[in-house]
Every structure is written in C-alpha cells, then in structure tokens.
Amino acid sequence: QVQLVESGGGLVQAGGSLRLSCAASGRTFSTVVTGWARQAPGKEREFVAAIAWSADTTYYADSVKGRFTIPTDNAKRMIYLQMNSLKPEDTAVYYCMASTTGVVYRVRAYEYWGQGTQVTVSS
C-alpha cells in the first residue's frame, strides 16, 4: 500500500501562485508514476500533471502547461505542484495520485489517492 497526504491548498487571487505538497509513504518503490488530478464542482476528475520516475519525465495537461510544474524531493518522498498565474478556472479540489502501472493521463487507472486539498482562485 501507498499512502498520500496533500497539503497547501487555500484561497488565492487570480494571477497569484500556490504550492501544493504531497507526502508519500508505504511501498513507494512500487509506484511508477506520481502526479496530480483535480475535480471542480459538477465536473469529472481530470489529469493535471505527473512524473514518470524511471525516465524522470514530466507530463502536463494543456490547460496548465507553462503555468504549473511538478518539483520533487526524492529524499523526502515528496512531490509538489507549483501553480503560477492561477486562473479562476483552476478552482478545484486537487488530489495527489500514484500508479504502479505506468499509465499517465488516464486518472481512473491510478490506484492510490490522497484525500484532496481545496484550491480556490478568486477573480
């Protein structure tokens, strides 16, 4: 099992920045891809960003490319979501997720999830 705990959500004005953190514990060596998804009210959960550990390759949804990055701290088993130039449409609950299968963009394939953290961007 892998446990994921997010933190760092909050309220920010449009154009501002926010950094989310995800602490991983348990059988983290089994995870191949770790990333972030989000779910806005009335919408399906969607892929935001991920990192494939073996290739050290990052992936981003088109809607966040150029604004969000996914820094990591392997020693601390932490991944982050650095969100810059935030827009009201970025408002959502953000989830940390991990996969043992190597799937990147299909959020339903991720086996492990955090509890989520709310991000609200005011206009």
Give 25-36 as a 3 state SS string.
Answer: EECHHHCCEEEE
- The reported pLDDT for the residue numbered 58 is 95
34 touches 98 (CB < 8 A): yes
Is pLDDT larger for residue 77 or for residue 122? 122
Instruction: Indicate the SS3 state at residue 24.
Output: strand
Say what the pLDDT of residue 54 is: 85
Proportion of the chain above pLDDT 70, given as a percent: 100
Does residue 16 surpass a pLDDT of 90?
A: yes
For the chain, give me the number of helices (H) and strands (E)? Answer: 0, 12
In 3D space, the residue among 71, 69, 87 whose CA is nearest the CA of residue 79 turns out to be: 71
pLDDT at 123: 92
* Model pLDDT for residues 25-81, shown as the tens digit of each residue: 888 888 899 999 999 999 999 999 999 988 889 999 999 999 999 999 888 788 999
> Strand pairing partners for 10?
119
Strands 112-113 and 92-99: antiparallel
**115 vs 29: CA distance, rounded Å:** 21
